[in-house]
Every structure is written in structure tokens, then in C-alpha cells.
Amino acid sequence: MSTPDQRFFDLLHHDTASRAPGEPYSPPIVSASMFAIPGDPAPGQPAWQYGRFGNPSWGALEDSLAVLEDAPVAIFPSGMAAVAAVFYALLKSGDRVLLPADGYFTTRVLAERFLAPLGVAVETCATREVASRDFSGLRLVWLETPSNPGLDLADIAAAAARAHAAGALLVVDNTTMTPLGQRPLDLGADLVVSSDTKAINGHSDVVAGHVAARDAALMAAVRDWRRIAGAIPGAFEAWLVHRGLETLELRWQRMNDNALALAQRFSGHPKLKALTYPGLPGHPAHQLARRQMRGFGPLIGLELADRDAAERFIHGAGCLRTGTSFGGVHSSAERRARWGDAVPAGYVRLSVGCEPFAPLAAALIRALDAA
């Protein structure tokens, strides 16, 4: 298996040597719906046939992501479209699916509101209790680790072995860690889904997602869903993600370094009732994090006294974007209770960005002191 450094090097250069003289290195943005198809098309020939089936701008992004995932990739117009593709392509009436009770809220809403009425039994389990949950009779087990926003962990390799023994597929939503920070497919997961809106694009200017799987039949089902249901990304959006992806390794390194150093600085701060970061030795799953993750991610959970203290911290810093997303170049923070997540009113999810460390740390410590 190649090293993460080698994989990212290969991502940047997989098409360097194949360019014809005068061909652009940056992939063109192709908006065509119609492509020339002379005679009777053979399967997959010509490569581009109709805008809903595929597009050279998506192809460029899928090729790059496939190098990073070390697996075939299908891109989608949002992370939720990727989640939906896995659900609708692989589940049928009578199947049982296990979702994280503390994972991305909308994944649960999609299943409960739209799959359950079609006869899919939707069950939930807290991430930290996955290890002791009985998987028998399940068709699909869904993990999100670290969970969002609580930052609990589940052991992917152990869950994969148990899911397979029970005849279930294991899907991992790898949004919080990216393929640079965590390798679910290498650990035995059958499918990975990702919201590329977050760190993969990284610039908070596009909504996108992808699915990766090494099993050809699983991937064919996901691609068929996209082609038939029509949940397709735009060429410009694919181009933007392709562009953002090229600096992921640099951004990921900086975010991880910043987040770990900040979490260490925050430790023991009198304004904090609780501090959650998988990179701190006090995190209940720190040893698993060291084994399973490369870096500990950009997200830190900070619990302040109450809602007002949390708001004073967020606004007092002057350098925290207040929107709802994470993994971007700019640090951002929000109280997740404002969306109804099951966390205390004073719980802040801080997404650490790529700013130079010293001024960022100074601003955040100052804001915490004054919160």
C-alpha cells in the first residue's frame, strides 16, 4: 500500500506526463449536454455521451479523487446527494439500517422521513456504543468517526469485521477526516461517503460530495443511481473542487497542527467546562485516534458555561466565521444547540483553519479569557 505522501504526489502528477503539446494542464470546464456519438455506441464508448451520464470536468475530479481514495469514485452535487445515492442504490424494503444517533443530523432525517415509509427499518446507535451493538440482521451499518459534533470515535476495522460476519455492508462518512486523515476502505469499510463541501474543497465556495468503493458491483449501483435519478454535479462546481483538492495536503497539515496546538493551549482553561479533541490524551478514545487517524482533524469541542458565554467567545474573537460548516481555510465556530443537536447550550464546535498559528491562538485565548 502506498504512503499518504506518495498518494498525494500521485494525485498531483497522475496526468502530468500524458499531456499533448499545447493541451491545458488545468482541466477545461465543459458545459455540453450533447457529445458526438457516431453510429452504434459500444459500452463506455465514446467516453462522453450525454450530460447526465458523465462529463469531462467531473472525470478530471473523479480521476484525482480516485488516486487519493485508491478506489473508483463517483462525485455528487452535495454530500447529502452522495449519502442518498448509497441509501437508494443499496437498500430495499425489509432491510434494516443502523445509523449513528450522534452523527450528521440530515443523514438521519433522510432515512427516517424518506426511507422508513418505503419499508426500510431505521435504527440508531451512539458512536461510542457501536462496539457493543449487535449487528445481526442488518443490511447496512453506517459510521461517522469522529462523530459530528460530539467527536466520539468508533473502531472502523473492528466494525467492518463484525458487519461482514453479520452479512452487512459497512459505510463510513469520512467527511471530518478526509482520505488524508483516515482510510476507511483500507480498514475494511465497503463504501466511503464524503461531503466535499468541507475540507476537500476547503474554500467554502461550493457544495459537493463523493462516494468511493472498491467493489465494482457496489460502484456500478451508485453510478446507475446517479445516471437514472439525475443527481449530477455542475461542471464548474467539479472544476472548483478539483482546484481546491490540489492544496488539500498543505491545508490539512496546517489545520491539524493548528488544532492540536490550540487544544493543548485550551487545556485547563478556567472558562471551559469541557474540552473535546481526539488528539488530547484525556479523550476517551485517544489511543484509537492515534491508531486509526493521521492527525486528529480540524474540529475541537469547547463547552463554555452557557449560551451567552459561548456567544461572547465566538463574537469576541473577531476572527471566527459564524456560518454552519467546517474544514475551510478560515476558522469558524458555532453553538450546535442552535440547530437542535443534542449538546449543551454552551457547546461550541470550533473548526480550526489555516491561519498562521500565533495570531490565531492569541485572538482565541483572549476571547476565551473574556467570555
What is the Cα–Cα distance from 243 to 61, expressed in whole angstroms? 9
Q: Which of 57, 145, 175, 351 binds ligand PLP (CB under 6 A)?
A: 175
CB of 32 to ligand PLP, least distance (A): 25
CB of 195 to ligand PLP, least distance (A): 3
> Does the annotation count 190 as an active-site position?
no
> Does the annotation count 52 as an active-site position?
yes
Candidates 198, 226, 254, 349; catalytic one: 198
Between vectors from CA 110 to CA 108 and to CA 116, what angle results, nearest 5°? 90
Q: Which residue stretch of 4-12, 54-62, 74-82, 241-249 sits at the interface with ligand PLP (rule: CB under 6 A)?
A: 74-82
> Does the annotation count 347 as an active-site position?
no
Does 173 participate in binding ligand PLP (rule CB under 6 A)?
yes
3-state helix, strand, coil in the chain (%, to 5): 40, 15, 45
Q: How many CB atoms lie within 10 A of CB 371?
A: 23
Distances (CA, A) of 216 to 73, 138, 313: 11, 22, 49
Does 111 participate in binding ligand PLP (rule CB under 6 A)?
no
DSSP at 338: G
CB of 272 to ligand PLP, least distance (A): 24
- Residue by residue, DSSP assigns 282-303 as TSTTHHHHHHH-SS--SEEEEE
The residue at minimum Cβ distance from ligand PLP is 79
| Dihedral pair phi/psi, residue 58, rounded to 5° | -65, -40
CB of 174 to ligand PLP, least distance (A): 8
Candidates 10, 15, 52, 243; catalytic one: 52
What is the Cα–Cα distance from 276 to 282, expressed in whole angstroms? 9
> Does the annotation count 251 as an active-site position?
no
Report the Cα–Cα distance between both ends of the chain, in Å, rounded: 47
Amino acid (1-letter code) at residue 160: A
Does 209 participate in binding ligand PLP (rule CB under 6 A)?
yes
Which CB sits closer to ligand PLP, 79 or 297? 79
User: 42-80: string of b/e by CB count within 10 Å (b at 16+)?
Assistant: eeeeeebeebeebbbbbbbbbbbbbbbbbbbbbbbbbbb
Does 79 participate in binding ligand PLP (rule CB under 6 A)?
yes
CB of 46 to ligand PLP, least distance (A): 31
Question: Using CB under 6 A, which residues numbered 129 to 148 contact ligand PLP?
Answer: 144, 148
Does 78 participate in binding ligand PLP (rule CB under 6 A)?
yes
Residues known to be catalytic: 52, 104, 173, 198
Residues that bind ligand PLP (CB under 6 A): 78-80, 104, 144, 148, 173, 175-176, 195, 197-198, 207, 209
